[in-house]
Amino acid sequence: MKRRSIKRLPKAHLHLHLEGSTRPSTIREFAELEGMDVGDGNFTNLPEFMVVYSKSAQTIRRPENLKRVCRELVEDEAEQGVWWSEPMGVPQYYWERLKLPVDEVYAIMKEGFDEGTRATGTEVGMMAGINRNFGVDGLFGVSTVQTAEFAVRQKGNGVVSFGIAGDERIPPDPFGPACDIAHEGGLLLVPHAGETMGPESVWSAIKTARPHRLAHGVRSIEDPDLLKYLRDNQIVCDVAPTSNLLLGVAQDIELHQLPKLIDAGVPVTINTDDQTFFGAMLCDEYRLVRDTFGLSDYELAGMARVSALASGAPEATKQRILKGIDAWLESDPDEDAQQ
Ligand SMILES: [Zn+2]
The whole-number mean pLDDT for each consecutive block of 10 residues of the chain, a chain of 339 residues, reads 93 97 94 91 86 91 97 98 97 84 95 98 97 87 93 97 94 96 98 97 97 98 98 98 96 97 98 95 98 96 98 98 98 82
Query: What CA–CA distance (Å, rounded) separates 13 from 238?
Result: 9
Query: What CA–CA distance (Å, rounded) separates 274 from 192?
Result: 14
pTM, full prediction: 0.97
Query: What pLDDT, on a 0 to 100 scale, did the predictor assign at position 93?
Result: 84
Query: What pLDDT, on a 0 to 100 scale, did the predictor assign at position 180?
Result: 98
Domain hosting 33: range is 2-336
Ligand 1: distance of its center to the CA of 273 in Å? 5
Ligand 1: distance of its center to the CA of 144 in Å? 18
Domain with residue 215: its CATH number is: 3.20.20.140
For residues 112 and 151, the answer to whether their CB atoms sit within 8 Å is no
User: Of 142, 140, 139, 200, whose CA–CA distance to 172 is shortest?
Assistant: 200
User: What is the CA angle 95-42-92, rounded to 5?
Assistant: 10
Ligand 1: distance of its center to the CA of 163 in Å? 9
Residue 80: CB atoms within 10 Å: 21
User: Of 201, 194, 160, whose CA–CA distance to 14 is shortest?
Assistant: 160
Ligand 1: distance of its center to the CA of 309 in Å? 20
Residue 48 annotated to the active site: no
Q: How many domains is the chain partitioned into structurally?
A: 1
How many residues belong to the chain? 339
Three-class SS of residue 239?
strand
Query: What pLDDT, on a 0 to 100 scale, did the predictor assign at position 338?
Result: 63
Query: What pLDDT, on a 0 to 100 scale, did the predictor assign at position 40?
Result: 80
Query: What pLDDT, on a 0 to 100 scale, did the predictor assign at position 141?
Result: 79
Ligand 1: distance of its center to the CA of 165 in Å? 7
Label residues 173-204 b or e (16+ Cβ within 10 Å = b).
eebeebbbbbbebebbbbbbbbbbbbbebbbb
Ligand 1: distance of its center to the CA of 209 in Å? 16
Ligand 1: distance of its center to the CA of 90 in Å? 12
Query: What pLDDT, on a 0 to 100 scale, did the predictor assign at position 47?
Result: 84
For residues 159 and 182, the answer to whether their CB atoms sit within 8 Å is no
The catalytic residue among 149, 195, 254, 285 is 195
DSSP 70-118: HHHHHHHHHHTTEEEE--EE-THHHHHHH---HHHHHHHHHHHHHHHHH
User: What is the CA angle 101-176-106, rounded to 5?
Assistant: 20
Q: Residue 262 corresponds to which amino acid?
A: I
